[in-house]
Structure 1
Amino acid sequence: MFEKILIPNPSAEKPSSLKPRKGVIIGLGQVGLACAYSLLIQDCFDELILQDIAEEKLAGEVMDFSHGMPFLAPTDLKAGTVADVGQNADIVIITAGVAQRDGETRLSLVERNISVYKSILHDVVKYCPDCIILVVSNPVDILTYVTLKITGFPSSRVIGSGTVLDSARFRALLAQEMGIDARSVHAYIIGEHGDSEVAVWSSANVGGMKIVPDGWDNLAKDEQDKLSEIYFNVKNAAYEIIQRKGYTSYAIGLATTDIVKAILNSQERVLTVSGLMTGLYGIEDICLSVPRVINERGILKTVNLTLSEEEEKLLVESARVLREVFDRVTF
């Protein structure tokens, strides 16, 4: 009956030369679902594959999303795997893994999530050999490094979501304190996405005006206390959210979408993603976050951010913490 409704146009038989934007999300827990929702409503992909071991739940989620398609730009949404329908994806987003428990550090998730990743990455390498892998699962820095080593991909094509979310939290809390739009605050969190992360106060600014213009040591005690409180709240935000609602999801979904858009649209955007360090600040052969330029090739460049002596010391310590953990794991 549908043949009478839709009449083919003979002049449209030649396929389009434009390559569809294709993505895969592996792992449809709360974070994966938030990523999928954010990516769909921001029209990031022409084709999006959702993969999860809980097949019945996955089918229900895809049905639920598909019923909202009349409100969105067209996206070919499918439930499946990299092997059956996800071949040759442009970006593979991995959110799979065990959830962080209340009171559990991100680094304590290492052993449990490495085993999950080993089972996933074989098919990614086989069926999406030219993709960019975006690691979102925690501990993101360790799993980004593990992904790099297991896949053998160039370091430009293995990216962790890193401290993109931490930097957003930093900007949001600073903006809240100053009563301005968070988009007008420019500030970075670097290092580990976790307990050893570093706030870069030396370059944090609003409209070019530094928040700490004369250095930390020249701040009054009450100003230091206020800024230290903001940093503490940024660093511990995930723990507080997990304690209150059981998981984090919405903000990391938005952060992931920001990274995806920078890749697909070749924005050459500076984002604090996690990637391989190759000597900057004396740090080598570990993944952590510093500002990096992102385009369609992945990590194009790393920003040589000028740090204070104390900030550089803390960043090196953050790298040491990550190296110590990684040296204890096997994969």
Structure 2
Amino acid sequence: MSLRDNLLKEVAPSLSVKPSSKISIVGTGEVGMSSAICILQKSLADELVLVDKRADKVRGESMDLLHGSLFLKSKITSDTDCKATQDSKICIICAGVRMKDGRPDKNLLQDNIAVFKEVIPQVAKHSPNAILLIVTQPVDLLTYVAWKLSGFPRTRVIGTGTNLDTARFRYLLGAKLKVNPVNVHTYIIGEQGSGSVPVWSSTNVAGINLNDLVRDISKEHVNEIHKRVIDSGHEVIRLKGSISWAIGLSVANIVDAILKNLKCIQLVSTNAKFSGVPRTLPVFTAGNILDRCTHGTPTKPNNYKGEHNIKADVFLSLPCVLGATGVCGIIKQQLEEDEARKLRSGVENLLKAQQEIVL
């Protein structure tokens, strides 16, 4: 008899039960593993799968986590083959070449497209009903690539986008005002990176609009804080070599919203193509990719606000309602003219880059 047979008497046969919240992470670098530990600490997955083509790396990371099984509530497995991701609810893609000094170089996109051509079709094949969460940089363009390669509906392909940038913005603004960032409500939208757009016009603390309080100096404030948001990632990389914990927490927060069907709003990269054109919209031409509604009344002189309508398959960050099906809705934000202009500029930048992508 085996040791187990001596230990206990089996009174019912063991059943093989499919996990109900299986999460797979492809790429076990620092970002992938920080995402893994944040997900495990929140007990979001009943099974967490780590996949990496580097056999020793993925085995070592898996062993390290398994040695802490006493403190966790998830089954942990690992493999070098994407087949291990089969029947995942969410597949998190962290695989790819890392940015040097936190700044993308001209070869980064092409190198990571090559990685995605290998990974995404395999993940889509084994988990055809999964939600893809793209973390690899440049995130907007690679989320577009993942959408094209997977053939998934646009609602089930999401990028981390400006979710972390928004968290940094709220933290820095909260620190300046000496209030907890949970009470600071503001967003950074559009193209992730230096072309992102801080929506200062609707920034508020406890419902008090800061733009109304300091209108004469608001641009100076927002530009200063936005620059710190953009530079902070580079500063962390300079100091410790890489960004890991903050993006891991951001990933876990997005996963939490999806798995629990929370319907909360997150700043994620989504296909922002307008799904229907209201009758009051102007006619779109080839040179007018993004425009705004002409209806409505300005609330302040020279401060017209209106909805932005994107007429191309471009992935960028907007306030999205996240639930079990992925992106359940996109908030119809109103922007000031300067904010809308910057958003249009980001769309044009992304479309220009997309045109050069060959899949």
- With normalisation by structure 1, the TM-score equals 0.93
Q: 1:93 corresponds to which residue?
A: 92
Which has the higher mean CA deviation after the structures are superposed, 281-290 or 152-161? 281-290
- Whether the 8 Å contact between 1:22 and 1:89 is mirrored in structure 2 is yes
Taking the TM superposition and a 5 Å limit, the aligned residue runs for 1:248-267 are 248-267=243-262
Q: 2:44 corresponds to which residue?
A: 44
Q: Deviations over 1:7-51 (max 9, x none)?
A: 4343x86777x9521011000011001001101111010001100
In the alignment, the residues of structure 2 paired with residue 197 and residue 107 of structure 1 have an alpha-carbon distance, to the nearest angstrom, of 19
Q: Is 2:288 the partner of 1:293?
A: no
Deviation at 1:54, TM superposition (A): 1.3
Residue 149 of structure 2 aligns with an amino acid whose one-letter code is I
Partner SS state of residue 272, structure 2: strand
In the alignment, the residues of structure 1 paired with residue 28 and residue 127 of structure 2 have an alpha-carbon distance, to the nearest angstrom, of 19
Q: 1:272 corresponds to which residue?
A: 267
Deviation at 1:299, TM superposition (A): 0.5
Deviation at 1:242, TM superposition (A): 1.7
Q: 2:22 corresponds to which residue?
A: 22
Number of equivalences: 324
Q: 1:219 corresponds to which residue?
A: 216
In the alignment, the residues of structure 2 paired with residue 246 and residue 80 of structure 1 have an alpha-carbon distance, to the nearest angstrom, of 27
Partner SS state of residue 272, structure 1: strand
Q: Deviations over 1:131-160 (max 9, x none)?
A: 100000000000000111111110010000
Q: 1:56 corresponds to which residue?
A: 56
Distance 1:106 1:294, change over 3 A: farther
**Aligned with 2:7 (options 5, 30, 38):** 5
Q: 1:116 corresponds to which residue?
A: 115
In the alignment, the residues of structure 1 paired with residue 260 and residue 187 of structure 2 have an alpha-carbon distance, to the nearest angstrom, of 23
- Whether the 8 Å contact between 1:62 and 1:79 is mirrored in structure 2 is yes
State the percentage of identical aligned residues.
36
Residue 2 of structure 1 aligns with an amino acid whose one-letter code is R
- Whether the 8 Å contact between 1:205 and 1:211 is mirrored in structure 2 is yes
Distance 1:264 1:81, change over 3 A: farther
In the alignment, the residues of structure 2 paired with residue 234 and residue 50 of structure 1 have an alpha-carbon distance, to the nearest angstrom, of 31
In the alignment, the residues of structure 2 paired with residue 103 and residue 271 of structure 1 have an alpha-carbon distance, to the nearest angstrom, of 23
Taking the TM superposition and a 5 Å limit, the aligned residue runs for 1:172-321 are 172-213=171-212, 218-220=215-217, 224-279=219-274, 281-283=308-310, 284-321=312-349
Q: Deviations over 1:30-78 (max 9, x none)?
A: 1001001101111010001100111112111111111112112x21100
Q: Deviations over 1:186-237 (max 9, x none)?
A: 11000011110000001111111112126x7x323xx543332111001222
Partner SS state of residue 213, structure 1: helix
Q: 1:76 corresponds to which residue?
A: 75
In the alignment, the residues of structure 1 paired with residue 264 and residue 106 of structure 2 have an alpha-carbon distance, to the nearest angstrom, of 28
In the alignment, the residues of structure 2 paired with residue 288 and residue 106 of structure 1 have an alpha-carbon distance, to the nearest angstrom, of 20
Q: 2:301 corresponds to which residue?
A: none
- Whether the 8 Å contact between 2:52 and 2:81 is mirrored in structure 1 is no
In the alignment, the residues of structure 1 paired with residue 64 and residue 107 of structure 2 have an alpha-carbon distance, to the nearest angstrom, of 34
In the alignment, the residues of structure 2 paired with residue 151 and residue 206 of structure 1 have an alpha-carbon distance, to the nearest angstrom, of 41
- Whether the 8 Å contact between 2:163 and 2:266 is mirrored in structure 1 is yes
Which has the higher mean CA deviation after the structures are superposed, 83-92 or 249-258? 83-92
Q: Is 2:323 the partner of 1:323?
A: no
Deviation at 1:5, TM superposition (A): 2.6
In the alignment, the residues of structure 2 paired with residue 151 and residue 106 of structure 1 have an alpha-carbon distance, to the nearest angstrom, of 26
Taking the TM superposition and a 5 Å limit, the aligned residue runs for 1:157-176 are 157-176=156-175
Deviation at 1:82, TM superposition (A): 5.6
Partner SS state of residue 211, structure 2: coil
Q: Deviations over 1:108-132 (max 9, x none)?
A: 6211111110010121121111110
- Whether the 8 Å contact between 2:36 and 2:248 is mirrored in structure 1 is yes
Deviation at 1:322, TM superposition (A): 1.0
Residue 42 of structure 1 aligns with an amino acid whose one-letter code is K
In the alignment, the residues of structure 2 paired with residue 48 and residue 254 of structure 1 have an alpha-carbon distance, to the nearest angstrom, of 16
Q: 1:145 corresponds to which residue?
A: 144
- Whether the 8 Å contact between 1:106 and 1:138 is mirrored in structure 2 is no
Which has the higher mean CA deviation after the structures are superposed, 28-37 or 318-327? 318-327
In the alignment, the residues of structure 2 paired with residue 167 and residue 103 of structure 1 have an alpha-carbon distance, to the nearest angstrom, of 18
- Whether the 8 Å contact between 2:99 and 2:105 is mirrored in structure 1 is yes
- Could you list the runs of 5+ residues in structure 2 that have no partner in the other structure? 275-306
Q: 1:104 corresponds to which residue?
A: 103
- Whether the 8 Å contact between 1:274 and 1:289 is mirrored in structure 2 is yes
Which has the higher mean CA deviation after the structures are superposed, 109-118 or 83-92? 83-92
In the alignment, the residues of structure 1 paired with residue 352 and residue 272 of structure 2 have an alpha-carbon distance, to the nearest angstrom, of 16
